[in-house]
Chains A and B, each alone.
Chain A
């Protein structure tokens, strides 16, 4: 309770500092708008049908990207974790490529998938692939040997081993990897939208920037951050309900 109160007081202090800066006249008032103007812009944005249409575009790109990147990452992680030779051959590259800024691949993806949703999905999928693959690979290595021995003594096929033993055993690392993957996929999709697109929340942010609608841009950025945080919280809740069950 005391901790929540301290956090709320800290938030109030930060908001008061913002308001003081906005009212001080030290900065151009359109660059640092007052809290009231930002709140009003959030309300206006939430009341605009265009926001929901663009949210739908981004959500669709994000969901497909996570599905593709997550699936590919889980398969790669299972292979790298279960096979020491493959891990020694490729895992180092996966680790080194993981922190590289994926947005640099955007020109290549634009040519391959076009300026529409395809290139955004591709960049989101590539972003999501690495955390999932790394997390699943390390999770597979932590699978109890006795489970593997049971599988071998039942003469399980590779597919049965993957579906009946590895996948249930790596549920928590998989969800953890997906949790990280969600965040980076969202960033990948949104950044690609800011670079070149005709729809999506990233496009709306750039549109507000071009029109110098600063309260609108702050409102969109706050809403995007809240949406990403909400998705993250939902995955965390899912993780604590299913992953650690």
Chain B
């Protein structure tokens, strides 16, 4: 019975769509407020071809990738730096945690003034939203490194660089990846959100643009496309993380 449950879930979604279609066709719900699902499905092909969805998808992906590279390049060294000095960790870790919890996306008008209305602002906002989890998880992973591994490194007289490359970083890698997954999730949420809010860039802008043109089926199709892309992204990140955790025992 439980094996049929996922099919039941999909079937109820299809049934809800059909009921919505019937209500709209029967003029119970205005088609000027909610477009019929059939129109939304038909709009998918149109927006992919006419609104250059693949190019927009690539742009949002490139912005997320750039933010991800920045997050790793800045977050991991800061995490390592905080791990090395207990004084610095005590002083700055609570502020990094506060940074992680702060509603940074609200500061997008400030980032617009600081960096201008360009992709740079979007990438910086993605970076600002995603760097704190990587710092915190890097520290957590490094602190949890088994003492015996560090002792082995010391007895082999490894330099600080060798110790990091050969022992600390591999041991902390699953935690760093968890941080990166969280960071990229926050980053993507912010990037798509800011694209929508400032009407610039890839997929987020597409929704805003179609909504401003009052192209309702197109707007709903674009929302559906962003949902689909987000779900695929988050599912892939989760699987990679699980695989990494298994690989590290």
Contact = CB atoms under 8 A, between A and B. Distances in A.
Interface of A: 2-3, 6-7, 9-11, 14, 31, 84-90, 92-93, 96-97, 99-101, 103-108, 110-112, 183, 186-187, 190-191, 194-195, 202, 205-206, 208-209, 212, 214, 217-218, 221, 224-225, 228-229, 232
A195 B230 CA distance: 22
Nearest to B30: A111
Interface string B173-200: 0000000000001001110110011000
23 contacts: A9-B91, A10-B91, A10-B92, A31-B113, A85-B1, A85-B8, A89-B6, A89-B9, A92-B6, A92-B9, A93-B9, A100-B189, A100-B230, A107-B208, A107-B211, A111-B216, A112-B33, A112-B34, A191-B105, A191-B197, A217-B110, A221-B110, A232-B101
B5 A89 contact: yes
B87 interface: yes
A107 B207 contact: yes
Interface in B98-148: 98, 101-103, 105-110, 112-114
Contacts of B2: 84-85, 88
A7 B185 contact: no
Interface string B215-245: 0100110010011001100110000000000
Q: Which of B5, B92, B231 has the most CB of A within 10 A?
A: B5
Q: Chain B: interface secondary structure?
A: helix
B231 A100 contact: yes
Interface residues of B, number: 52
Interface of A is mostly: helix
Contacts of A111: 32-34, 216
A7 B103 contact: no
Contacts of B109: 194, 205-206, 208-209, 217
